[in-house]
Amino acid sequence: MKRLGTPIPDLVLLEPRVFEDERGFFFESYNKRVLADLGLCQEFVQDNHSRSRRGVLRGLHYQMPQPQGKLVRVVTGEIFDVAVDLRRSSPTFLQWYGVKLSAENKLQLYVPEGFAHGFLTLSEWAEVLYKTTDFYAPQYERCIRWDDPQLRIEWPLDPGVQPVVSPKDAAGVPVEKADLFP
């Protein structure tokens, strides 16, 4: 596995070593020892799996005061995955990074604690798997609006097209009213 750089140093893009031939392919999607060698020593405690149709936007989610780091990958389809730095003390505070993750490119994104996370489904269907460093705690769940003008996230939406969001995500708060990390 190879660690790729991102404009936000704490976000880590991972490229697995894929063994492919006429039968198909094989790769390690998780190896605790390899990730530790790459500087990711987090302990993962929960695996999540979501399926979304084209145009569905999930996020921007985070938990506070029980934050979760997430290791995100796609096993079917393609998404535009976004992380936003919500740590006031960070030099990249309120900066975002977006990357296409797909079953084809097999890239993974590690989103550390202190970031909001969301994604837009680009393919007909996408299945997303992600490991978390802490358990889901609904009482600590927070959501920032996906279209917050202060963040200026460049979602790859066709002009005039609105994404499909859940009522909970539609009720997300602007970043200026959100609980943020120190």
Which residues are designated catalytic? 61, 130
Listed in sequence order, the residues at least 6 apart from 56 whose beta carbon sits closer than 8 Å to its beta carbon are: 120, 121, 163, 164, 165
List Cβ neighbours of 170 (8 Å cut-off, separation of 6 or more). none
Rounded to whole angstroms, what are the CA distances from 27 to 33, 106, 181?
A: 15, 9, 35
Report helix, strand or coil for 65.
coil
* Strand positions, DSSP E, 27-124: 46-53, 57-63, 70-76, 78-85, 96-102, 108-111, 115-121
Under DSSP, is residue 160 helix (H, G, I), strand (E, B) or coil? Answer: coil
